[in-house]
Structure 1
Amino acid sequence: MTVLLKRAGVGGAHPIWLRSRTRGVCGGGAMKTEGGAQAPPFAGREQSLIEDARRSAAVLAGLSGSSRARDGLVFEQKDGRVTINVLFTGKIFETFEAKLLHVESRPGRKSKNGATDLEFFMKCEVHSSDLDVFVNSLKRVVDDVRSVPEEKVPWFPRQIKDLDRCNMLITKFDPDMDQDHPGHSDPEYRKRRAFISELAFTGEPLPTVEYTAEEVSTWRHVYRQLRGIYPGLACRQFLDGLQQLEEEAGYGEDRIPQLREVSAFLKGKTGFQLRPVAGLLSARDFLCSLAFRVFQCTQYIRHSSAPMHSPEPDCCHELLGHIPMLADKEFAQFSQEIGLASLGASDEDIEKLSTLYWFTVEFGLCKQNGAVKAYGAGLLSSYGELVYALSNEPEYKPFNPEEMATQPYQDQTYQPVYFVSESFEDAKTKMRRYSATIKRPFAVRYDPFTCSVEVLDQPGKIQDSLSRLRGDLKTLQSALEKFS
């Protein structure tokens, strides 16, 4: 039994964990009720040892009276087990004027004799001066009483449709707000950018943008310049993904790809899909989208006066930097696991995870065939920083999530420090270890069949997940046996 106590007149919450001694089957299985079930008032409020003793005696008297013969009970018996429907008044709660706000039951931990205990979660209010005696009275009738903090978990999406609520934009880099933005002094560019951004709110899943000749010219310049240096600086996974995009999704220097066709390509490769967004999202909203294998993608393009640089994410950054990497299954899994780790995380942990994302997905380097290569989208969409990052100027550090999570970074100039992973598999393993240190009262698992997140906070849910995993393992075992 878990009790959440609020001291009247104090306002503090006092959660207590209680495990019932009673085992059996209650009518209807799990019990759940809410409301204001309040005991009759108890005269007097002055506390003394005598009053405490009287109250304890009253509680004990009620308990002894409840253990008499079961005359008048209506029950059904089958195979030695009894199912009864019971309506009762809790003497302890009545004596202490405790207001019962919520109660529910669930199967508890296994006891020493192998039976399953019944655990209760209860939320009630009791006067602050009665708290200690109230708890001591509860200890007389249950196996386990312990205080636990009431954990407040930030809201997070459980289904892919919940991403409609994850739309908090960070506007500090918008051309309307940022005076250093190349398009700040160009009213026509700002108007055009606002028009394309508004398409993300039309309700159409992936709107088509009719790009102007000037916009295509900017794309062509960026594509041509970066495509020429990719072979010597980009990682193998990126080069493979870009080649597939050129062959299957219409990538090329003379046309800006539409999100609809790129999303269909990604869906078939790694299960990722694109979602239009009007600008830079908050870290929490962006990361939680990754948990559902959804990548929030802008559609406007950088200003033509600075084609090799953009202070905010644009379609050049998304389509050239991110998409080729998301076509790789191992990297897609790595990205999703960062997203899953963010669900329900504290603001402090979100800040650390977003910093990890910055030094990996945005500005990550890796070793391949004895050389350092780039896989971060911020590098692969910026000619200047890509060349700089793979020169002798910056400092390289080994991939270490604990250090990376607190490493200061630059969003106005090139990074002074880059982290180099041995491989994506090594990075994924270390990220999983780091994610396990994030304090949450549950674990999460993504269900690709329903595009939803399962919250694993009860033994039964974990057992169900293990059962499905056993089925997958049997399929793999059967496949291996065909080769033996």
Structure 2
Amino acid sequence: MPKSTKYRAKIADAQGHIAYTAEEDAVWADLYAAQQNTVQKYMARDYLNGLKRLELPKTRVPSCKDISERLLDLTGWRVQPVPALIGFETFFGMLADRVFPAASFIRSREDFDYIEEPDIFHEIFGHTPLLSDPRFAAFSRAIGKAGVQAEPKDYAWLIRLYWFSVEFGLRWQDGEIKALGSGLASSPTELVYAVESDIPERDPFDVLTILRTPYRIDMHQMGYFVLQDPEALFAAADRDLLADVKQAQSLGLLPNKFPPKATAAE
């Protein structure tokens, strides 16, 4: 997550609704239009089934309150608007309470194809479809519960499991690689890149390897992890993730796959 942002949070009214401008609604509409055919081709059924369940609006920014009402019925989760940047401690605590923190602003036209920090399109279009599935929702909560018990020095290690699964995970489906992560679903460019490009490496899903793998927030990834079956992800929720973090720390970070001038996220 970047340490600063040019964006400012949108504030909800007393009823929990946020007033978006006509231009902001137009950005949402254009992002949705740009992604709707691409996600059908490249995203896994797990995500697509969730997108269908939620029936997100196509021409305006949806209300977190409205999305929460649907999620509460499906999985007991809700979505809460937050500033663009929150700390790991807050993030983990909210997940543990079945609350998904959603940055309330929407990207500008300048950042249409790629934005470093999460915006409302990433949060709602990217994340909430999987949160409508009890299995994936339980995994996110397991990450949060582990984070609540972790020490600050463990945060950057634990978050890698979330990053390479919920955010940028891939899976095998009917003999093909499909995208699973929210960061891919909401990116007009990285979704196709993650599935089709010959540039990134694609390794089997392995918790310890993931915890030791550096990542970047300001460019497409140089490596992804592929689930043979989502059951491997759900099984990870039952592991002692903090013990896994300690073991990963004892083994150390794996070599950085990014260009020499790049600095890995810690």
TM-score range, shorter chain: 0.7 to 0.9
Aligned CA distance change for structure 1 residues 407 and 235 (closer, same or farther; 3 Å): same
Look up the match of 1:213.
Answer: 22
Partner of 1:415 in structure 2? 221
Tell me the TM-score normalized by structure 2.
Answer: 0.86
TM-score by length of 1: 0.48
CA distance in 2, matches of 1:385, 1:171: 18
Shift of 1:173: 3.5
Distance in 1, Cα, partners of 2:2 & 2:143: 24
Matched, 1:400 2:222: no
Following TM superposition, the consecutive aligned residue runs of length 4 or more in structure 1 with deviations greater than 2 angstroms are: 170-173, 430-434
Distance (Å, rounded) in 2 between the aligned partners of 1:300 and 1:416: 28
Mapped to 2, the partners of 1:439 and 1:376 lie a distance apart of 22
Kindly indicate which of the two structures has a greater share of residues assigned to helix.
2
SS of 1:281's equivalent?
Answer: coil
Report sequence identity in percent.
Answer: 36
CA distance in 2, matches of 1:394, 1:347: 30
Match of 2:193 among 371, 388, 407: 388
The equivalent of 2:105 in structure 1 is 300
Q: What's the counterpart of residue 376 of structure 1?
A: 181
2:189 alignment partner, SS class = helix
* CA positional deviation for 1:439: 8.6
SS of the residue 1:309 aligns to: coil
Indicate the residue corresponding to 2:89 in structure 1.
284
Q: 2:78 aligns with which of 249, 273, 286?
A: 273
Aligned twin of 2:171:
366
Q: Does 2:58 correspond to 1:242?
A: no
C-alpha distance in structure 2 between counterparts of 1:431 and 1:409, whole Å = 21
Name the structure 1 match of 2:157. 352
Distance in 2 (alpha carbons) for counterparts of 1:356 and 1:400: 9
8 Å Cα contact 1:330/1:424 also seen in 2:
no
**Partner in structure 1 of residue 61 of structure 2:** 256
What is the DSSP-based 3-state SS (H/G/I as helix, E as strand, rest coil) of the residue aligned with 1:221?
helix
1:425: which partner in 2? 231
Q: Compute the displacement of 1:434 (Å).
A: 4.5
Larger Rg: 1
DSSP-derived class of the 2:114 partner: coil
1:393 and 1:360, CA in 2 relative to 1: closer, same or farther beyond 3 A? same
Alpha-carbon displacement from aligned partner over 1:57-98 (angstroms, at most 9, x marks no partner)? xxxxxxxxxxxxxxxxxxxxxxxxxxxxxxxxxxxxxxxxxx
- Structure 1 Cα separation of the partners of residues 131 and 158 of structure 2: 19
What is the correspondence of 1:80-91 to structure 2 with a 5 Å cutoff? none
Is 1:335–2:140 an aligned residue pair?
Answer: yes
Q: Deviations over 1:395-432 (max 9, x none)?
A: 01111111111101011100001011122221121343
Amino acid at match of 1:271: G
SS of the residue corresponding to residue 79 of structure 2 reads: strand
CA separation of 1:260 and 1:431: change in aligned 2, threshold 3 A:
closer
The alpha-carbon distance between structure 1 residues 171 and 435, as it changes in their structure 2 partners (threshold 3 A), is: closer
| Aligned-residue offset at 1:171 | 6.7
More strand by share: 1
Count of paired positions: 245
CA contact (8 A) 1:211 1:256 kept: yes
Residues 211 and 245, structure 2, Cα contact 8 Å, conserved in 1? no
| 1:115-126 correspondence runs (5 A) | none
Alignment deviations for residues 84-141 of structure 1 (CA, whole Å, 9 cap, x no partner): xxxxxxxxxxxxxxxxxxxxxxxxxxxxxxxxxxxxxxxxxxxxxxxxxxxxxxxxxx
Residue in structure 2 matched with residue 479 of structure 1 by the alignment: none
What's the CA shift for 1:172?
Answer: 2.4
Classify the secondary structure of the residue corresponding to 1:313: coil
Corresponding letter in the other structure for 1:424: P
Letter in 2 for 1:430: A
Contact 1:365/1:419 (<8 A) preserved:
yes
CA RMSD of aligned residues (A): 2.0
CA deviation after TM superposition for structure 1 residue 234, in Å: 0.6
Gaps of 5+ in 1: 1-169, 176-189, 441-484
Higher relative contact order (CA 8 A, sep 6+): 2
Work out which of the residue numbers 107, 110, 130 in structure 2 matches 1:325: 130
Greater shift in the superposed pair: 312-321 or 391-400 = 391-400
Local SS of the residue matching 2:212: coil
Taking the aligned partners of 2:243 and 2:5, their CA distance within structure 1 comes to 35
Quick one: which amino acid aligns to residue 418 of structure 1? Y
Give the corresponding residue for 1:152: none
**2:205, 2:225 within 8 Å by CA — same for their partners in 1?**
yes
Stretches of structure 2 that go unaligned for 5 or more consecutive residues are: 247-266
Asked if the contact 1:363/1:376 (under 8 Å) is kept, the reply is yes
